[in-house]
Structure 1
Amino acid sequence: MALDPIDKTTTLTKVTERLRAELDSGRWPIGTRIPGELVLAGELDVSRPLLREAIRGLTNLGMLEARRGSGTYVRSTASPEAILSSLDTAEVREIYEVQLAYDVQAAGLAANRRTGQDLDRLRGLLEARNRAEDDRADVEGFASADAEFHLAIVQAAGNPLLLELYRYFVVRLEASLRTVHADTTVPTCGYESHQTVFDAIRIGDAELARASARAMVECAINALDQSGAARSGGPG
């Protein structure tokens, strides 16, 4: 099925949007080769350089894949831009809910895979995090210390994909921690919840580590709900 031409005020954005619409529609399923550059440029009535730039942009996003000597294939119909946009606009409670899924899985894996070096690092970060919790005025210090502890658990989990996903997520988590720690109406959950997660990882009890991680994050969610505090808070 041929594509309708784009109006003469064509821009790179318009060409990219049209190609993304085709991907969203399912007419170009994952794994299939899209029409050739000459064909698409003719159907859309756009220049080949402009079309080539749009395809390059979608390739950089991981939606298309160029295969030398074979053509361009559909790799994904989902854009990571939507994920990043959702992270930027998410409310604090939404961030905590996502953290719950990440941290529970990471804690269980870390209990099975942690090394002695991992434990030494976690112990030091936990001590720094607990000291920072006492100072409600040092918002930046607490947010950074708490986020580092959680990220270290994910690193100890030994799953490279989970770690890369969390690296994106932890920036927004740290921003949420700043928002919450600055609001003195939101009670802290104390040292115990984080200590319990560390102890479970230390003794290698994956089931206890997952349960403790769940309790740790749910404590933060409940504290937020009970305080009636504002739920939003961006990375600024």
Structure 2
Amino acid sequence: MRILLVEDDLRVSTVMTSMLQRRGYLVEHAATATAALEAAPCDLVLLDLNLPDGDGVDVCRTLRARNENLGIIAVTARGEERDKVTGLRMGADDYVVKPFSMAELQARIEALLRRAVRTSSAPPEVAEIGPLRIHHGARTVSFNDEEVTLTRKEFDILASLARRPGEAVTRERILLDVWQTTWSAKHTLEVHVASLRGKLGDPGLVQTVRGVGYRLRTG
């Protein structure tokens, strides 16, 4: 999950970047409105509205016009009701007033990402990927025409990967799909993936993408 942090205060940006990275996010920092608008594509923007070369509200409006599906959370000292209303009307999905706790920010990020998952296109009722057949409605799986019994979490992990067959799916995306959070105990996902591989009988079907997450082999 790639986050663009738009914050001109170096001390604040350093602390936030460190804490977000510890939670597994990839973070790019922009200290100005110009840098924010020139930054690489991302999944979520944390946007300070007080920037040295422009108003963050204008940045918000421009980013929203470029991508209606981009998650934008205004993170600012502007706490007046009129500021919140303006920010939300200009395209922000949420509004956090400084000072705030990282626990609150994390909860708001996860809530925004969950809404994005719910509004994304639903997977087909039955997905066939090579010898793998997944019936989402019945929550059944077969491999080489033999039924495979999975736990609820194992099925959800496989379903998350099957939505993007052949693509590298980040660890954070799988955690969000399955556990509704991007923060989990160490090795929780790895343990479930190991069990899933064993039950499928083909360890290479769910491939590890080092430093990223996992990929469901299509061939």
Query: Same fold judged by TM-score > 0.5?
Result: no
Larger Rg, first or second structure (1 or 2): 1
Question: What's the TM-score once normalised by structure 1's chain length?
Answer: 0.27
Structure having the larger proportion of residues in strand: 2
Greater relative CO, 1 or 2 (CA 8 Å, sep 6+): 1
Question: What's the TM-score once normalised by structure 2's chain length?
Answer: 0.28
